[in-house]
Amino acid sequence: MSAVAPVRAFVRARDHRRRTWSDHYITLVALALAAMLVTPVLVRAVEAVPGALAPERAGAGLALIALLLAGGLVLARAVGPVSVSAADAAWLVLSPLPRRGVLARTLLVLGAVCVAGGALVGLALLSALGTPDALTLRLPASVVLGVSWTLGGMSVAVLAQGAQSWDARLVGVIAVLVAVAVAAAAMSAGPGSGVLAAAASAPVAAWTAAACASAAAAAGLAGRAWSALARFPARAVLDASTRVGLAAGALAAMDPGTLTWIAEDAHWRTRRLRSRAWPVRLPGAAAVAWLDWRRLARRPGRLALVAAAAVLPVLAARAGGAGWAVLLVLAAGALAVAATSTAGARRDAGDPALARLLGAAPRALLAARAVLPAVLGGAWLTLALAGLDLAGAGGSLWPLGPLCAPALAAGALRLARRRPIEHTMPVMDTPLGPVPLGPLRWALEGADIAALGCLPALMAFAGGVTAPLLGAQAVWGAAVLAAYCAAARRG
């Protein structure tokens, strides 16, 4: 028994919220229920694995998997995967207790998450490449590949949190994954489809060998991460624990909007900037709105990422996504891109003190602040629709992009200015169970006005683009934004 175990037992024994038999029973029932719900979905997913390779689907699927893994590593690098509770951070990390013993629980949880996530990645891999034969052998090999990738990636992220040299390697892994995604996306368009065919039709022995090699590499990395825990720097754990603690607090208080503030402040706190004069020709409201333009210019990497994300709807379409799924990716992407440029409105909605000090008129300010999200959202949607048109998945849809821009701006501003979740709202009984209206309303705010403003465009998606629908979208989108700005009040 390590020295940490008696300390944890001591704390557990004095915890007034000690778990009872009924708590354990509820946990078991919940797990059983989750298994009952998830198993049929997994069975259906395995049954749907195609037998023959479709290069378009395979390339797009591989690209999405690579992007998913890269995104997971970026998130792990930003948050710092090794973190502990606030109490452990205060009393156990800064103590003579063996560091590995204190952090072991976190690493076990990370391992479990990697195994579950990796299994899904493996299933997605098989679903993308298809299986010409021996599904029962290829499926476990694919799952082992997925688990190895997630476990290996997480191990590198853990090592990167503790040592700068490993951080550079982690950045390299992320870059390689993005390059793989780009290459796979290019292959899905035609060139290099032979490589995909070779990977998919490789004999089972090759798949098994690849799985064994990946598992060995992942085990090596996991072992190294486990060894590194013994001398893991307290500073790295404390920083990550603070970030995770703030995020957990925001989630516990059911105010996920706070997470955006936390991430934003964490980003700028460590940056060294250079002050620049404010443009003198801008009138009052436009001068205030300029801060979002300046903030955007200071994050060129994010802008490049946003532009690159315009390929996601094409990948979703090529990976075999249904029409409604592609539309969902388009809508969520365009609204998210527009919302990236509404930090000023978000701050003033949360705390109008600076807005009062500035004395800008709310309606004029909102109108000035709508320009940037309209430009970004409209440009992204235009790019994404043009991509779909080029890929043959659309039918001259791109003119809808700029015409939807005002509605996207209105939706993004409403998203940024929404209040925290109102838990006093009633719970509605539905055939699927009780639905709390507070979180539901919170989740729909922003998307509602964007969807309303894009109604003609949605009709065009369903029935084809026509000149009257384009005209209607131009007028209706602008009208929705004008009405939203006219109804604005401070905060």
Which residue ranges make up the site for other proteins (CB under 8 A)?
261, 264-265, 267-280, 282, 284, 287-288, 290-291, 294-295, 298-299, 343-344, 347-348, 350-351, 353-354, 356-362, 490
Minimum CB separation from other proteins for residue 383, in Å? 24
Minimum CB separation from other proteins for residue 375, in Å? 17
Phi, psi of 132 (to 5 degrees): -70, -25
Give yes or no for a contact between 207 and 198, defined as CB atoms under 8 angstroms apart: no
Angle at the Cα of 51 (from 47 to 56), degrees rounded to 5?
110
Q: Which two tokens stand for residue 347?
A: 């701050």
Cβ proximity to other proteins: between 170 and 416 the closer is 416
- Write down the residue that tokens 């493996």 correspond to: 122
Minimum CB separation from other proteins for residue 292, in Å? 8
How far apart, in whole angstroms, are the C-alpha atoms of residue 99 and residue 105?
11
Cβ proximity to other proteins: between 177 and 412 the closer is 412
Give yes or no for a contact between 425 and 417, defined as CB atoms under 8 angstroms apart: no
Minimum CB separation from other proteins for residue 299, in Å? 8
Cβ proximity to other proteins: between 223 and 283 the closer is 283
Minimum CB separation from other proteins for residue 302, in Å? 11
Burial 369-386 (b: 16+ CB within 10 A, else e): bbbbbbbbbbbbbbbbbb
Q: Which two tokens stand for residue 426?
A: 């009633």
Minimum CB separation from other proteins for residue 287, in Å? 4
Cβ proximity to other proteins: between 10 and 268 the closer is 268
How far apart, in whole angstroms, are the C-alpha atoms of residue 273 and residue 2?
47
Cβ proximity to other proteins: between 351 and 422 the closer is 351
Cβ proximity to other proteins: between 295 and 441 the closer is 295
485: amino acid identity, one letter: C
Beta-carbon count within 10 A of 215 CB: 16
184: exposed, middle or buried (Cβ count in 10 Å: 0-12, 13-18, 19+): buried
Minimum CB separation from other proteins for residue 296, in Å? 8
The dihedral built from the CA positions of residue 66, 246, 421 and 361, taken in this order, carries a sign that is negative
Phi, psi of 436 (to 5 degrees): -70, 125
Look at residues 458, 448, 459 and name the one whose alpha carbon lies nearest to residue 484.
448
Minimum CB separation from other proteins for residue 342, in Å? 11
Secondary structure of residue 232 in the 3-state scheme: coil
256: amino acid identity, one letter: P
Burial 22-33 (b: 16+ CB within 10 A, else e): eeeeeeeeeeee
Give yes or no for a contact between 107 and 81, defined as CB atoms under 8 angstroms apart: no
Minimum CB separation from other proteins for residue 357, in Å? 6
Cβ proximity to other proteins: between 359 and 433 the closer is 359
How far apart, in whole angstroms, are the C-alpha atoms of residue 187 and residue 193?
5
Cβ proximity to other proteins: between 318 and 346 the closer is 346
How far apart, in whole angstroms, are the C-alpha atoms of residue 159 and residue 149?
15
Cβ proximity to other proteins: between 360 and 384 the closer is 360
Cβ proximity to other proteins: between 173 and 289 the closer is 289
Minimum CB separation from other proteins for residue 250, in Å? 15
List the beta bridge partners of residue 427: 436
Cβ proximity to other proteins: between 23 and 265 the closer is 265
Beta-carbon count within 10 A of 283 CB: 10
Cβ proximity to other proteins: between 78 and 444 the closer is 78
Minimum CB separation from other proteins for residue 242, in Å? 14
175: amino acid identity, one letter: A
Give yes or no for a contact between 82 and 158, defined as CB atoms under 8 angstroms apart: yes
Minimum CB separation from other proteins for residue 417, in Å? 13
How far apart, in whole angstroms, are the C-alpha atoms of residue 291 and residue 369?
9
